[in-house]
Amino acid sequence: MAEENRIQAEAVSYTYEEAETPALSQVSLAVKPGEFVAVLGHNGSGKSTLAKLLNALYVPTEGRVLVCGMDTRDDDRLWDIRRAAGMIFQNPDNQIVATLVREDVAFGLENLGVPHDEMVERIDRALEAVHMTAYAATAPHMLSGGQKQRVAIAGILAMTPLCLIADEATAMLDPSGRREVLDTVHRLNREEGISVVWITHFMEEAATADRVVVVSDGQTVLSGTPREVFTEVEKMREIHLDVPHMADLAKRLRDAGMPLREGILSVDEMTEEVCRLLCPSN
């Protein structure tokens, strides 16, 4: 039997108090073990609300969310759910609690009541996994944004999660910091088999996922592999989202009558396809 889904959201709706229209309506999402799912959407599309529903920070007004089989409405399992689905947030400064890096990584473990010796071991391992061992005794305000986010990831990692939810974790970082954080998460996904829900508005980041879910106005609009999603140029335009340049170019060329194949995303693929069309002999 296949392992159960790490996260399963079933027709979930959520309406904020005092709001008239739901921020999220009838959204379903399933994340398999080891899967990297990107949730792509604009500001106000409901993607952050979705993130907070996935680890019981919010409880759905309709539908239900299961984290490793545990219903987020079940108060008794609250801490198990949050341990299993760790979350990192957008602002790197506002999620670091302690005055030293290793003490911040310890925060979650202290909350879980992990014994001291085991705690030290798990902190060392977590810091090593995000390549921050050298900064264990540094004050967080001395670190760069990307480093702070990696510390936040280590803090989650120490709690041995099965799933990592990143709510626009790179939105406030510079390009090198973004690279650094995304690479770290990809590596953990590959090496430790941690499922990832990567919420973002950066199309390039979504393109690196196994699967992309596009949300707009609180609803799922598109879902599929990055290749499937990004070749839906018109649909993406409709909700004011960009597509990779080559997908755009391929669409225009096809509209102009060139019989290009579907699913072109990169410059290399485009070059190859154009060469194939121009010199069929090769």
Partner 1 sequence: MLKNITLGQYYPVDSWVHRLDPRVKILLTIALIVAVFLVRSMVGYAILLTFIFLASCLANVPFRLMIKGLKPLRFILILTFLLNLFFQSGGGEQEILVHWWIITITRAGLRQAVFFSARLALLVICTSLMTLTTSPIQLSDGIELLLSPLKIIHFPAHELAMMMSIALRFIPTLLEEADKIMKAQMARGADFESGNLIKRAKAMVPLLVPLFVSAFRRAGDLAMAMEARCYHGGEGRTRLRVLKLTRHDLFAVIAVALLIGVIILERAAMPDGWPL
Q: Identify which of residues 103 and 228 has a Cβ nearer to partner 1 in the complex.
A: 103
Is residue 120 within the footprint of partner 1 (CB under 8 A)?
yes
Q: Which of 107, 136, 239, 263 binds partner 1 (CB under 8 A)?
A: 107
Q: Which of 6, 47, 83, 251 binds partner 1 (CB under 8 A)?
A: 83
Q: Which of 46, 60, 108, 146 binds partner 1 (CB under 8 A)?
A: 108
The piece of 24-32, 91-99, 176-184, 203-211 that touches partner 1 (CB under 8 A) is 91-99
CA distance 88 to 155: 9
Is residue 184 within the footprint of partner 1 (CB under 8 A)?
no
Is residue 155 within the footprint of partner 1 (CB under 8 A)?
yes
CA distance 92 to 150: 9
CA distance 203 to 74: 35
Nearest distance in Å: CB 180, partner 1: 20
All residues at 6 or more sequence positions from 54 whose CB lies less than 8 Å from its CB, including other chains: 7, 9, 65, 67, 72, 85, 87, 163, 165, 197
Nearest distance in Å: CB 119, partner 1: 6
Q: Which of 82, 150, 178, 211 binds partner 1 (CB under 8 A)?
A: 82
Nearest distance in Å: CB 186, partner 1: 22
Do 120 and 132 meet the contact criterion of CB atoms below 8 Å apart?
no
Kindly identify the residues of this chain, within the stretch 8-67, that bind partner 1 according to CB under 8 A.
Answer: 52, 55, 57
SS3 116: helix
SS3 103: helix
Is residue 257 within the footprint of partner 1 (CB under 8 A)?
no
Q: Which of 6, 47, 102, 178 binds partner 1 (CB under 8 A)?
A: 102
DSSP structural state of residue 100: S
* Closest CA relative to residue 152, chosen from 82, 109, 97: 97
**Strand ranges across the sheet with 195-200:** 85-88, 163-167, 195-200, 36-40, 211-216, 219-224
* Closest CA relative to residue 24, chosen from 220, 198, 203: 220
CA distance 274 to 268: 10
Query: What is the contact mask toward partner 1 in residues 126 to 145, using x (rule: CB under 8 A)?
Result: -------------xxxx---
Q: Identify which of residues 164 and 264 has a Cβ nearer to partner 1 in the complex.
A: 164
Question: What tokens were used for 256?
Answer: 């102009």
Nearest distance in Å: CB 76, partner 1: 13
CA distance 147 to 132: 8
Is residue 86 within the footprint of partner 1 (CB under 8 A)?
yes
Is residue 153 within the footprint of partner 1 (CB under 8 A)?
no
Q: Identify which of residues 54 and 264 has a Cβ nearer to partner 1 in the complex.
A: 54
> What are the CA-CA distances from residue 170 to residues 44, 62, 191, 238, 262 (Å)?
17, 30, 21, 25, 30
Nearest distance in Å: CB 63, partner 1: 21
Residues at the interface with partner 1 (CB under 8 A): 52, 55, 57, 79, 82-83, 86-87, 89, 91, 93-99, 102-103, 106-116, 119-120, 123, 139-142, 155-156, 159
